[in-house]
Amino acid sequence: MKDRSRYDRGVVFFARALTIAIFAGGVFVVVQSLPGMAWENASPSPIQAGLGLIAASLTAAVALAITRDWRGQRADQLAAQDLAVQRTLEAEQREQRANAYARVISGIVQTFTGGSRGDLATDRATIAMWGSSRTVAAVDNWQRVAHSIMKDLGGDVPVERRAELQLLVATVAIEARRDLGLDGALDAHDIAALLFDDYRSQ
């Protein structure tokens, strides 16, 4: 692609140089054909040839300008298409991350209520593939702390540690929101209170 662009620039430069040379030649012929100049008495008069060269050079100049304008427009169109494709891909990836985040957070919340947790292993794998480094770290932190607290309780959340674990879940949500470009006005306590009815009362 780069070699092609270099070749195209070389062709345009040569065409411009040739156009200028033809125009200069035409002007020279016309000037030399004027009264008092060297070719005044030449027969047939070369002035028509000179005028023809000037006309040809001007036509070529217009053609070059049109070509340059078309190439510029085409380059802008291709750039716009590339940008549109990139934005579409980014939107699709963002949606995929948002869905994975929602499933994981919902599954974790079910840990506190005894509801269906879904396929957390698959959702965690999705986050590992698509999630931001901060969100991955927050999920990992939740897993490690929750496992250390719940491993001897059959997966149940002890009442005295609920608020601590709920705050870790909220931290996962905060990092997910940050990755999705949402505002940071809410803190982890606000999110925890939204996710868990009993958070504020503990």
Q: Averaging pLDDT over each range in 112-116, 146-150, 170-174, which range is the top one? A: 170-174
When pLDDT is cut at 50, 70 and 90, the band that residue 57 belongs to is: confident
DSSP state of 160: G
Q: Averaging pLDDT over each range in 6-20, 33-47, 74-88, 106-120, which range is the top one? A: 74-88
Domain borders along the chain are 2-87, 91-195
Of 2-11, 37-46, 51-60, 70-79, where does mean pLDDT reach its minimum?
Answer: 2-11
More confident position, 152 or 60? 60
Token pair recorded at residue 106: 């919902």
How far apart are alpha carbons 184 and 168 in whole angstroms? 17
Q: Averaging pLDDT over each range in 23-37, 54-68, 70-84, which range is the top one? A: 54-68
Q: What is the pLDDT of residue 191?
A: 92
Q: What angle do CA 7, 10, 13 make, to 5 degrees?
A: 155
pLDDT exceeds 80 at position 128: yes
How far apart are alpha carbons 28 and 21 in whole angstroms? 10
Q: pLDDT tens digits for 157-190?
A: 778 888 989 999 999 999 999 999 887 788 889 9
List CB contacts of 38: < 8 A, sequence separation 6 or more.
Answer: 32
Q: What is the pLDDT of residue 170?
A: 93
List CB contacts of 71: < 8 A, sequence separation 6 or more.
Answer: 8
Q: Residue 16: exposed, middle, or buried by beta-carbon count in 10 A (0-12, 13-18, 19+)?
A: middle
Average pLDDT, integer, range 127-152: 85
How far apart are alpha carbons 78 and 172 in whole angstroms? 39
Q: What are phi and psi of 96, to 5 degrees?
A: -65, -40
Q: What is the pLDDT of residue 10?
A: 67
List CB contacts of 26: < 8 A, sequence separation 6 or more.
Answer: 50, 51, 52, 53, 54, 55, 56, 57
pLDDT exceeds 70 at position 199: yes
Q: What are phi and psi of 147, to 5 degrees?
A: -65, -45
